[in-house]
Amino acid sequence: MTPGGPSAALAAFAARTPRVPDDVRHEAIRAAMNGFATGLAGCADAATGHAVAVAGRFSGPRTAFAIGRADRFDPLTAAFLNAVAINVFDFDDTHPGTILHPTAPVLPPLLALAETRAATGAALLDAFAVGVEVECRIANAVSPGHYRRGWHITATCGVFGAAAAAGRLLGLDAARMRHALGIASAQASGLVETLGSMAKSVGVGNAARNGLFAALLAEDGMKGPARPVEGPRGFIRVTADDPDETRLTEGLGESWELLRNTYKPYPCGVVLNPVIEAALAIAAEPGFHPARVARATVRGAALLAERADRPAPAEGREAQVSAQHAVAMALLHRRAGLAEFADAAVADPIAAALRAEVTVEIDPELPVGAAVVEVELADGARIARRVDRARGDAERPLTDREIEAKLRDLARYGAPEVDPEPLIAALWSLPETPSAGHLPRLATPAA
Amino acid sequence: MTPGGPSAALAAFAARTPRVPDDVRHEAIRAAMNGFATGLAGCADAATGHAVAVAGRFSGPRTAFAIGRADRFDPLTAAFLNAVAINVFDFDDTHPGTILHPTAPVLPPLLALAETRAATGAALLDAFAVGVEVECRIANAVSPGHYRRGWHITATCGVFGAAAAAGRLLGLDAARMRHALGIASAQASGLVETLGSMAKSVGVGNAARNGLFAALLAEDGMKGPARPVEGPRGFIRVTADDPDETRLTEGLGESWELLRNTYKPYPCGVVLNPVIEAALAIAAEPGFHPARVARATVRGAALLAERADRPAPAEGREAQVSAQHAVAMALLHRRAGLAEFADAAVADPIAAALRAEVTVEIDPELPVGAAVVEVELADGARIARRVDRARGDAERPLTDREIEAKLRDLARYGAPEVDPEPLIAALWSLPETPSAGHLPRLATPAA
């Protein structure tokens, strides 16, 4: 380990890692593609709207684009708004084990910097990879006690990742990088109590903004504590009851947390993924018509019933964890996208009638992550489908083409005036791009 | 209690309290006077300089003054910079029992708002009083476990006070005020590990900025969780191991935490207050001359020796908790202000020689808060002084005139181009002032 402890080691890694492997860079592109996808959907949300209205009013020099918007903002404000948009629907990426959403805090500071300071596409990808590495390693060290205690890990650990990524792109040396992590530590915030309310987004937006702010302050010469992560009153000891310090640095620079990243195919709780897939398979049967459905049964492990047995969700946010609603949407519309989990879809009386015919049962034989959906038709015929590993699981990741399709779909949903094709092409060509400064503009109607 | 629990009760109190008593308003003026004083000193500090350089670069429309500076900033940035300046030297006010510095997070958002939205002086004082009440009550509920765990209570609880104060001046109703507290809860941050480094100031600056941001977002219609303070994953349970929820609301609107506020006469650890006072009394004796001092002894409770027996401090920050240095300065210069605790004063060889002659002894007969200083002169004569309650203690508060004198002294130290007299006069006349918008400008060279 680097002399000086984990904070120094993480800082040295973020400042100096000579080379990020090609497969990690490729995963960085996939994560960025998924981030632009959910950002293009989230830019239209009400929480993002309030953030734009207030933060925009106080924006400084307007050099940075925000995803899905024609107007520009100062880099700190753009980082804030993009993190809000990427995360607001919880449809962004997930780091297994910590349930941290890695991209929302880390990508936005890099987009904002790339527009005002020269950065190659490769430098942007490398900065993204080291930022995700730092935030996920700190998250590993405080898991599972940190989230369980009530800390929204995406926001609290994200600010360190944002600082590391921004510091890397700014070219901070290891000493200044450590100060950037120290200044980030003073800003780590975010409570689980805010989940389900718009306030969640302010925590995530601040993680991106304040990480960038920390890196810029360190660049200017501001100093932080020597051991912000592991010190006696530092981040991991204060925010977790039983932190594991070894996870901060074990295999640092050899293994990459980004390679464990996962992407959601559906905008709802992950326990519903196999349910939706099984129901979509039934709806795709030749001759299937939803009007012929008499009743349906969902079977899964106890966890599925605990989390998702909700026959009458009141609004879209609750429907995201309703197995009854998920089955109804898959059977009625053969889709399970943002529109199917919006308030209007939940209020539809045809959907309500079908939800009432869906029962959730515990089947102790089924492992967590698996589900069976069985539909009984009006004539007594039955169709059943079992899914053991849904798409989006670590073992069955979304393909590159599926992530592209997600971007096209979410752009249509939230920012129909944005043409997704040039953005998709630019993302794939990032490793060879001499300047990444054009990227954010491609995600706006101004392009 | 208001239906809905403590968060709702605090929000209703902050939004609606019909009348703040006159003695509370008077204490609000004293706190503001002390805040301007330490801000006029702190505006010249290096940490403030970095904050101005970076945050200033991204400032939006420049409508708000920052203490001690000729240029203006957007209100969020001005709130950040003023909180940094007020708190950077730890020479600001202290709420006994929690060690929270109440004014730094709460006053700056009000100054920034007063410049852009109409506010009477009385409205500003009332908003300040309710903001301090909210932050100190939340601090009471989490003390002492919160600080002990490693949370910098001024920053973590300050953001709630800033939101309540700003929300009050904005005229938020109780429902929006509760959302403001909810949005503030997503932003509560600040680690004790950062104390002693410049990063501390970023936490305190953010408390002011982000509390104002929360109130403005709530004004715009953004919503937060229903129970941000006391919910199962809300602030007090997540950040303290044994919170006392009753302290949030007991006697709310009847007792006022602001009346317990204290102000420091000297820029150093409070254990040194009686030591300095005893040494100053000796130095004021007719015929006393520091060149005649052979040796000196400081006696006090064990706590005094534990905290302050430091014969050879390396720099100003360490000298702030050195009894030897405090005695040397009082005897040599008959003063104990910021100049006497700056790096240059510590490096002075005459001071070093005198420090070497000062011994700290434990006297178990002396209570905490008391001290005896005894000086032996070259001719063998001895002069001893005992102080049982130093100025600045809750039982021996600084007088109005002493707080005025502190402002004059600190303006001379950090912002000699600012004339303190119009500012002092404007502060005393606040209860009758139809518009408080002119106040911040009076603390700048532009006035």
Domain-ending residue, one of B352, B369, B387: B387
- The arithmetic mean of pLDDT across residues B40-46, rounded, is 95
CATH of the domain at B88: 1.10.4100.10
Q: Does residue B1 fall inside a structural domain?
A: no
Q: Does residue B50 fall inside a structural domain?
A: yes
- The arithmetic mean of pLDDT across residues A316-345, rounded, is 94
Kindly list the residues from chain B whose CB atom is less than 8 angstroms away from the CB atom of residue A198: 183, 222-224
B51 & B68 share domain: yes
Q: Does residue A403 surpass a pLDDT of 90?
A: yes
The pTM of the whole model exceeds 0.90 = yes
Tens digit of pLDDT for each residue in A379-401? 999 999 999 999 998 889 999 99
Cα dihedral B174/B180/B183/B188 (nearest 10): -110
pLDDT tier, A196 (very low <50, low <70, confident <90, very high otherwise): confident
**Residue A445's pLDDT is what?**
94
Q: How far apart are CA A165 and CA A168, in angstroms?
A: 5
Q: Does residue B147 fall inside a structural domain?
A: yes
Helices (H), B150-245: 153-170, 174-185, 199-220, 235-239
Provide the mean pLDDT of chain B.
Answer: 95
Q: Does residue A1 fall inside a structural domain?
A: no
Tens digit of pLDDT for each residue in B343-363? 999 999 999 999 999 999 999
Among residues B180, B155, B170, B194, which one has the least CA distance to residue B113?
B170
- The arithmetic mean of pLDDT across residues A186-215, rounded, is 96
- Residue B7 touches chain A, beta carbons under 8 Å: no
The beta strand positions in B316-362, using DSSP E, are 358-362
Cα dihedral B257/B259/B261/B262 (nearest 10): -160
Domain-ending residue, one of A344, A370, A387: A387
Say if CB B79 and CB B212 are below 8 A apart.
Answer: yes
A97 & A211 share domain: yes
A224 & A80 share domain: yes
Tens digit of pLDDT for each residue in B300-313? 999 899 889 999 99
Say if CB A128 and CB A146 are below 8 A apart.
Answer: no
Q: Which of A50, A189, A214 sits opposite B217 (nearest CB)?
A: A50
**Residue B368's pLDDT is what?**
87
Q: Does residue A293 fall inside a structural domain?
A: yes
| H or E element at residue A252 | none
Verify whether the Cβ–Cβ distance A194 to B213 is below 8 Å: no
Q: Does residue B27 fall inside a structural domain?
A: yes
Q: Work out the percent of chain A whose per-residue pLDDT is above 90.
A: 92
A382 & A238 share domain: no
Q: How far apart are CA A423 and CA A442, in angstroms?
A: 5
pLDDT tier, B151 (very low <50, low <70, confident <90, very high otherwise): very high
Q: Which of B53, B199, B214 sits opposite A225 (nearest CB)?
A: B199
Q: Does residue A363 surpass a pLDDT of 60?
A: yes
Tens digit of pLDDT for each residue in B376-420? 999 999 999 999 999 998 889 999 999 999 999 999 999 999 999
**Residue A208's pLDDT is what?**
98
Tens digit of pLDDT for each residue in A116-126? 888 999 999 99
- Residue A200 touches chain B, beta carbons under 8 Å: yes
B122 & B222 share domain: yes
Q: Which of A60, A75, A210 sits opposite B60 (nearest CB)?
A: A60
A321 in helix, strand or coil? coil
- The arithmetic mean of pLDDT across residues B263-269, rounded, is 92
| H or E element at residue A91 | none
Q: Does residue A447 fall inside a structural domain?
A: no
Q: Does residue B1 surpass a pLDDT of 50?
A: no
Verify whether the Cβ–Cβ distance A231 to B193 is below 8 Å: yes
Backbone angles phi, psi at B374, to 5 degrees: -125, 130
A226 & A321 share domain: no
**Residue B175's pLDDT is what?**
98
- The arithmetic mean of pLDDT across residues A170-176, rounded, is 98
**Residue A1's pLDDT is what?**
44
Return the higher-pLDDT residue of A321 and A69.
Answer: A69
| H or E element at residue A84 | helix A75-87
Say if CB B328 and CB B356 are below 8 A apart.
Answer: no
Tens digit of pLDDT for each residue in A41-90? 999 999 999 999 999 999 999 999 999 999 999 999 999 999 999 999 98
- Residue A435 touches chain B, beta carbons under 8 Å: no
Q: Does residue B156 surpass a pLDDT of 80?
A: yes
Q: How far apart are CA B442 and CA A375, in angstroms?
A: 75
| Cα three-residue angle B17-B423-B98, rounded to 5 degrees | 50
Q: Which of B75, B186, B199 sits opposite A202 (nearest CB)?
A: B186
Dihedral class, residue A440 (left if φ above 0, else alpha if ψ from -120 to 50, else beta): alpha
Q: Which of B77, B197, B233 sits opposite A225 (nearest CB)?
A: B197
Say if CB B262 and CB B394 are below 8 A apart.
Answer: yes
Looking at residue A435, its amino acid is S
* Residue ranges making up the domain that contains B140: 6-265+397-442
Verify whether the Cβ–Cβ distance A225 to B75 is below 8 Å: no
Q: How far apart are CA B146 and CA B144, in angstroms?
A: 6
| Interface residue of B58, B117, B235 to substitute, partner A, most A CBs within 10 Å | B58
B378 & B414 share domain: no
Q: How far apart are CA A321 and CA A270, in angstroms?
A: 9
**Residue A229's pLDDT is what?**
98
Say if CB A76 and CB A204 are below 8 A apart.
Answer: no
Cα dihedral B96/B98/B103/B104 (nearest 10): 140
Cα separations in angstroms, A153 against A195, A373, B93: 11, 33, 33
B-chain residue closest to A178, CA distance: B199
Q: Which B-chain residues 77-96 have CB contacts (< 8 A) with chain A?
A: 77
- The arithmetic mean of pLDDT across residues A340-350, rounded, is 95
Cα separations in angstroms, B73 against B65, B106, B124, B440: 6, 18, 20, 12
- The arithmetic mean of pLDDT across residues B276-303, rounded, is 95
Q: How far apart are CA B220 and CA B439, in angstroms?
A: 27
Q: Does residue B392 fall inside a structural domain?
A: no
Among residues B120, B74, B197, B86, which one has the least CA distance to residue B431?
B120
Burial class (CB in 10 A: 0-12, 13-18, 19+), A444: buried
**Residue A3's pLDDT is what?**
61
Q: How far apart are CA B303 and CA B323, in angstroms?
A: 12
Domain-ending residue, one of B387, B411, B428: B387
B351 & B417 share domain: no
Say if CB B37 and CB B259 are below 8 A apart.
Answer: no
CATH of the domain at A327: 3.30.1330.120
Say if CB A74 and CB A62 are below 8 A apart.
Answer: yes
Among residues A114, A106, A230, which one has the least CA distance to residue A159?
A106
Kindly list the residues from chain B whose CB atom is less than 8 angstroms away from the CB atom of residue A75: 58
Q: Which of B189, B214, B233 sits opposite A150 (nearest CB)?
A: B233
| Interface residue of B72, B189, B315 to substitute, partner A, most A CBs within 10 Å | B189
Residue partners of A290: CB distance under 8 A and separation at least 6: A283, A331, A332, A354
Helices (H), A117-239: 121-142, 145-149, 153-170, 174-185, 199-220, 235-239
Q: How far apart are CA A178 and CA A175, in angstroms?
A: 5
A166 & A65 share domain: yes
A274 & A261 share domain: no
Verify whether the Cβ–Cβ distance A228 to B193 is below 8 Å: yes
Q: Say what the ipTM of the complex is.
A: 0.94
Say if CB A102 and CB A161 are below 8 A apart.
Answer: yes
Q: Which B-chain residues 226-255 have CB contacts (< 8 A) with chain A?
A: 227-228, 231-235, 237-238
B32 & B148 share domain: yes
- Residue B186 touches chain A, beta carbons under 8 Å: yes
B102 & B239 share domain: yes
Q: Which residue's structure tokens are 């765990």?
A: B149
pLDDT tier, B208 (very low <50, low <70, confident <90, very high otherwise): very high
Q: What is the DSSP string of B76-114?
A: HHHHHHHHHHHHTTS-S-BBTTTTB--HHHHHHHHHHHH
**Residue B3's pLDDT is what?**
62
Say if CB B155 and CB B105 are below 8 A apart.
Answer: yes
**Residue B393's pLDDT is what?**
87
Backbone angles phi, psi at B82, to 5 degrees: -70, -35
Chains A, B: CB pairs < 8 Å: 192
- Count up the domains in chain B and report the number: 2
Say if CB B420 and CB B408 are below 8 A apart.
Answer: yes
